[in-house]
Amino acid sequence: MILLPGFVQWDSTNLEEKFSITIRKGPEFASDLAVTLKNLENIKLSNTIPANRLLEISGEIKYSDIIKKQSELAKDKLGFNTYYLNKKKSDIIIGRNMPPPIIAEIVNCPDKSNEQILKKAKHYVNSGADIIDIGCVSNKPNPNRIREIIKLIRSKHNVLLSIDSMVPEEINAAVDENIDLILSLDFGNYEEMLNLPKNIPIVILPTNVKKAYIPKDPEIRVKNLFKLTKNLIDKGFKKLIADPLLETPINPGICKSLEAYFLYKKKSMESKYKAYELPMFFGISNVVELMDIDSVGINGLLASIAIELDMGILFTVEHSAKLMGGVRELKESVKLNYISKHKKTPPINQGIQVFKAKAKKSQEIPLKKLENVLIVEKTIPDYIPDEEGYFRIYVDHYAGKIYVLFYSNDDSIIQTFIGDNAEALSKKIIQSKLTQDVYHLNYLGRELKKAETHLLFGKPYIQDD
């Protein structure tokens, strides 16, 4: 077999036929060659698609195959710890050995306009969220707005919805609109909510928020969860989800809360508590939102913990600019770790990668003797305005587009370009001959590539910053 570089643009089929030898596309980067060769038995190389792309596809196929197998097994073991969220609307099963679905919250949803809500919901759905959460406003109940929002989202998206409120009026309003999941009941409000339909999944907490009671001791949290579980099961509730509460690192501290999750899993094995074992709720946003650290690594690590502990459901948000793209990061991280768990291997070389700022690839510096060397130490700051006009560049992360506006020097828009690829935009702008100033075009290419990178990373883009 002959391997061609993955960046070769043409189809190798005709060459294969002409020379009667297998000629296929290898990876785009030489650093992926070793992984490609190791996986020759697992993937069928293509005449048109680079090998590294096929490995990515193979990861998705592996993930789908494992889910299919585990879903069939889960259907035979349905109960308090494994069940459909809403069988009439979705095939999502939460519980033992199933990948945890992702809830993505629209924070302070009732205060947002319909346009803002639909924009966020569309972004979440496109990012891979399984459930859209209507986050209510603390101390500002608005049951009528909750009803409107549920109808609004369902008019545009066929997606499961949850309500994040502890106010009975808002929860009941959501139930009237057939909400799919409720966040949350605790010792402070559950007795008022015993009339809820018994087949709606409900997240339960070890707290009494009305009395500002949030236990710190992991043992108490776990005992409270089992106690509340028993009380609600005795009242006929069939679908409960336990939330031991994941807390922020350093203060109040993540280690104690993780201990509560480990302890809950351990206690669930004991005969005393086995009948009350529930899927667990993992509030990842409590960690990611309150750290000034890039989200992708944190999401990846928390996803690995979630898969190891067999979490039932994950909860996250993209409330601030630094979290843009977090739902997709979390979704891909779940896939990577879930495949690895079932392959019994560390989460590496599974065909799914969640790199952003870094990667496994590297480029060797040429060892040949360098000649005609010019050392360029700093940028020349001189600026000469282009007589034809100037460019303004913007990135819309929700639309997934880069906007390039060309203005005359009297501030009138001459032309607008919209796309998501820096090279394609650059070539189209050059072809338009709006300007032939090479310094301006050099600047434009640099800024467009920066804009494309920021779009990929979910990072806010500010021109010239």
pLDDT tens for residues 113-154?
999 999 999 999 999 999 999 999 999 999 999 999 999 999
Q: What is the pLDDT of residues 255-295, one digit of tens each?
A: 999 999 999 999 999 999 999 999 999 999 989 999 999 99
Q: Report whether pLDDT(361) > 80.
A: no
Q: How far apart are CA 436 and CA 388, in angstroms?
A: 9
Collapsed DSSP state (helix, strand, coil) of residue 428: helix
Torsion on CA atoms 133, 136, 137, 140, rounded to nearest 10: 170
Q: Which residue type is seen at 180?
A: D
In percent, the amount of the chain with pLDDT more than 70 equals 99
CA 332 to chain centre: 7
Mean pLDDT of 169-189: 97
Cα distance between residue 397 and residue 99, in whole Å: 27
Q: How confident is the model at residue 221 (pLDDT cuts 50, 70, 90)?
A: very high
Return contacts of 203-212, CB within 8 angstroms, 24+ apart: 203/240, 203/241, 203/242, 203/243, 203/281, 204/228, 204/229, 204/232, 204/240, 204/241, 204/242, 204/243, 204/278, 205/243, 205/245, 206/243, 206/244, 206/245, 207/245, 209/166
User: Residue 384 — pLDDT band, cuts 50, 70, 90?
Assistant: confident
Q: What is the CATH number of domain 80-343?
A: 3.20.20.20
What is the mean pLDDT of the segment spanning 359-369? 70
Query: Domain segments of the chain: what residues?
Result: 2-60, 80-343, 390-457
Which pLDDT band holds residue 251 (cuts at 50, 70, 90)?
Answer: very high
Q: How confident is the model at residue 357 (pLDDT cuts 50, 70, 90)?
A: confident
The pLDDT, as a whole number, for residue 367 is 65
Q: What is the mean pLDDT of residues 373-399?
A: 87
* Torsions phi, psi for 29 (to 5 deg): -120, 140
pLDDT given for residue 218 in this prediction: 97
Backbone angles phi, psi at 288, to 5 degrees: -65, -40
Instruction: Provide the pLDDT for residue 115.
Output: 97
Closest CA to 448 of 458, 427, 437, 79: 427
- Reported confidence tier of residue 176, pLDDT bands at 50, 70, 90: very high
pLDDT (average), residues 352-365 = 77
Q: Check pLDDT > 80 for residue 183.
A: yes
Least confident window among 50-59, 169-178, 212-221, 314-323: 50-59
The whole model's pTM is what? 0.86
Report pLDDT digits (tens) over 295-333. 999 999 999 999 999 999 999 999 988 899 999 999 999
Element (H, E) at 438: helix 438-457
What span, in angstroms and rounded, lies between the C-alpha atoms of 133 and 183? Answer: 9
pLDDT of residue 97: 95
Dump pLDDT digits (tens) for 5-62.
999 988 999 999 999 999 999 999 887 888 888 888 878 899 999 998 888 788 888 8
Q: Are 137 and 108 in contact (CB under 8 A)?
A: yes
Please give the share of the chain, as a percent, with pLDDT higher than 90. 82
User: What length is written for the chain?
Assistant: 465
H or E segment and range at residue 42: none
Average confidence (pLDDT) over 212-224: 97
Sort residue 6 into left (φ over 0), alpha (ψ -120 to 50) or beta.
alpha
- Across the chain, what does the average pLDDT equal? 93
Q: pLDDT per residue over 393-409, tens digit each?
A: 999 999 999 999 999 99
